[in-house]
Chains A and B, each alone.
Chain A
Amino acid sequence: MTQTQLPGQAAAPVTAPETAPPKAWKWYDYFTFNTDHKVIGIQYLVTSFIFYLIGGLMAVAMRAELYSADADLLDPNLYNAFLTNHGTIMIFLWIVPAAIGGFGNYLIPLMIGAKDMAFPNLNALAFWLNPPAGALLLGSFFFGGSQSGWTAYPPLSLITANAAQSMWILAIVLVGTSSILGSVNFVVTLLKMRVPGMQWTQLPLFCWSMLATSVLALLSTPVLAAGLILLLFDINFGTGFFRPEMGGDVVIYQHLFWFYSHPAVYLMILPIFGIMSEVIPVHARKPIFGYKAIAYSSLAICCVGLFVWVHHMFTSGTPPWMRMFFTVSTLIVAVPTGVKIFSWIATLWGGKLRLNSAMLFAIGLLSMFVIGGITGVTLGTAPFDIHVHDTYYVVGHFHYVLFGGSVFGIYAGIYHWFPKMTGRMLNETWGRIHFALTFIGTHLTFLPMHELGLQGMPRRVAMYDPQFEFVNQICTFGSILLGISVIPLFINVIWSWSQGPLAGRNPWRALTLEWQTTSPPSIENFEETPVLWTGPYEYGIDLLSADGNKSVQELLGEVSVEAQ
């Protein structure tokens, strides 16, 4: 084990709370303003899952409309309201809160051996900004629903369903604020509250990815908030920032929007990369391949990701030098991402794989993300992008990344950490059925979309050229399969939460600190400060020392001497 200089090591001890907390949380505690990071994590996960179902129903309704070329099922304006809110809900009320808020809050203090986050009250406040945001979005349907896409480009967003559009803006500003508060909390917690002796190189990779995520959110979210507030002023208070007839510039909005919203893609995938780096070594029973490469590549994605946003605007009349610059910067993102992919494959290679539900979703993610990544590289290239921009090719691409990537990762995380969160195991058979349905449904729904886009079908349309009808019907059947695929998960979680077999502390025989405490962890996480006796991924190392006659006590003693 190498010894490196550790900044901020002195600040680690945590002070005890003023009042004695209860022994365990009751069910109703989960509906209150609770400052326990584990309660908040589960609040995030459950709330976001409800919105996932709502956003999913909107998607199925849209696919039903697209079963035929004519706009015969939904009113086209309602269709646009569904497409806008489907995107908004899935991004801001499902993937971001589940991956960052849910897993981030639940796991980070446990993984670094802390009792809670650095600012528990701020944390609870950040969560409770989300339900009103969701209520605003759903309430906006009484005013027609926001219909200008999740991008809300003016002038369309200025002249369509003004009340609903304003509610949409307020909802995004609320979740953006929540994201900023949460990110501050993660950064301070990771810098100051690691268990004594935990080096940066001993930090679980999920924590590294959450650090990168938080920095990215802190840098980019305020820019989106600025753009949206200007839009709100244009709609309601007579300003003309984005009104061309008043000398405003609509392209400036696109810059402000994408300066946040491209990094938002990494906000949705970096925590998932962290989940992958935890799930794969545990179930492959091998040390992670290239720990430092994975850790630093998260930071690299965070930095480069801030300088690629114009690739969403290649057809907006961007000057040639911009097209050139942002093509190159976009292609560079593929390098740190590829580093991660190869590291995971190398970790799997020759491992003693447990092909359980968590691992299946992790491997499924790998295959999906490679497809989404390759189409992403094609889209980053300006000459190709000019043809397929705003087509179903893009829709196919980002669903491979966000559904095949982020959602598969959230599923993997649920199967992996459910025993820790609830103390009970999920049913494996139903988990595998869930995986099979999701895997087939994803390809069936999103693979044909690439063909549609290449052949000339634009996105965000309620009616289209009849020549595309057959391929659209395949996509619609796929989406129905995806809708059905949630049912096994839903039943499994509900049933296992109360009836599943007891998990014990460490059902996966994992090495990170969260598995050293009880399942579910007690309110203060650890009965005594946990001992860091091994790195987070040193699987298989016990085999090397198996020839010795030393007892476990002696080995532990040796390790703690080494750690001094």
Chain B
Amino acid sequence: MPTITGAEIEMAAAPSEAAPVENHYGVGAAPTRETTPPDLAVDVAAMQFAWIFTYPDEVVAGELHVPLGKDVLLNLNAQDVIHSFWVPQFRLKQDVIPGQATQLRFVATKAGTYPLVCAELCGGYHGAMRAEVIVQPEAEFEAWLAENRLASQPAVTETIAVNPAELTPADFLAPYAQTFGVDGGALASLDSQFSQK
């Protein structure tokens, strides 16, 4: 499988809400860091119409938790059609292309919760394919990871057995609601969006 190295984007600073960014965008890769291993690698699966994040030790979540100031590598994979990983506040966007392993590498430097948006038309509920990126201090992040490490196992196998394309996002995410801290309010809003169609 080809790896798109050009997808690596160096980001030195995440913005605040009001005064956006001071980041060092190169056009393309960050060659100086290509050889150094990242501090954290997360597998990101994009599917109609949800994002699934898999951490080391099989921790699975519906939102992306990132330790503050650490070098994070995302391995992006599309399960069905093309999606696009976009965090507007990070000024960071990368298409997630089926059949091509894609990587995205960044350092988030400001704690906070930022929207994650799918930016490539992927079907009827493309607009509902939203999640969150939570940038938190390292200790907080480690605590979150530990909390979810053990509980994760059964739900993962259970989820892999079903075809996610046949489920609504709310159904799909329901098994995670208790164990992984997927926000109950978010599920309710997803549900209401689907019941209105």
Residues on A lying within 8 angstroms of B by beta carbon are 70-72, 75-77, 79-80, 147-149, 153, 155-156, 159-160, 244-245, 248-251, 315-324, 327, 382-383, 386-387, 389-391, 455-456, 458-465
Contact = CB atoms under 8 A, between A and B. Distances in A.
Closest 7 CB pairs of A and B: A320-B28, A244-B99, A461-B127, A456-B88, A317-B4, A76-B124, A463-B127
Given A71-B193, A323-B6, A153 B124 contact: no
Interface stretch (B90-98, B105-113, B136-144): B90-98
Interface of B: 4-7, 9, 25-29, 80-82, 84, 86, 88-89, 91-95, 97-100, 102, 115, 117-128, 130, 192-193, 196-197
B115 A456 contact: yes
B127 A464 contact: yes
26 contacts: A71-B196, A75-B197, A76-B124, A149-B121, A153-B120, A155-B80, A155-B81, A156-B81, A315-B95, A317-B95, A317-B100, A319-B6, A320-B29, A386-B25, A387-B88, A390-B86, A390-B121, A456-B89, A456-B115, A456-B117, A458-B86, A458-B127, A460-B126, A462-B126, A463-B128, A465-B130
Given A386-B93, A462-B124, A159 B81 contact: yes
A227 to B, nearest CB: 16
Nearest to B126: A461
Contacts of A147: 123-124
Given A245-B98, A319-B6, A458-B126, 17 more contacts: A71-B197, A72-B196, A80-B123, A147-B123, A156-B122, A244-B99, A249-B99, A315-B84, A315-B93, A317-B4, A389-B119, A390-B84, A460-B121, A460-B126, A460-B127, A461-B127, A465-B115
A386 B128 contact: no
Nearest to A455: B88
Given A320-B28, A458-B119, A463-B128, A387 B6 contact: no
Nearest to B4: A317
B153 to A, nearest CB: 29
Nearest to B3: A317
B63 to A, nearest CB: 15
B112 to A, nearest CB: 14
A321 B80 CA distance: 29
Contacts of A77: 124
A153 B115 contact: no
Nearest to A324: B27
Contacts of B126: 80, 458, 460-462
A242 B141 CA distance: 40
A145 B124 CA distance: 12
A248 B98 CA distance: 10
B28 A323 contact: yes
A320 B93 contact: no
A406 to B, nearest CB: 23
B121 A80 contact: yes
B27 A323 contact: yes
Contacts of A80: 121, 123-124, 126
Contacts of A148: 121
Contacts of B128: 71, 463
A459 B89 CA distance: 17
Nearest to B6: A319
Nearest to B120: A390
Nearest to A389: B93
A155 B81 CA distance: 5
A72 B127 CA distance: 13
A171 B56 CA distance: 49
B115 A318 contact: no
A159 B79 CA distance: 13
Contacts of B92: 386-387
A377 B166 CA distance: 42
Contacts of A71: 127-128, 193, 196-197
A391 B93 CA distance: 11
Given A249-B99, A386-B93, A317 B125 contact: no
B5 to A, nearest CB: 8
B82 A156 contact: yes
A390 B126 CA distance: 12
A148 B25 CA distance: 31
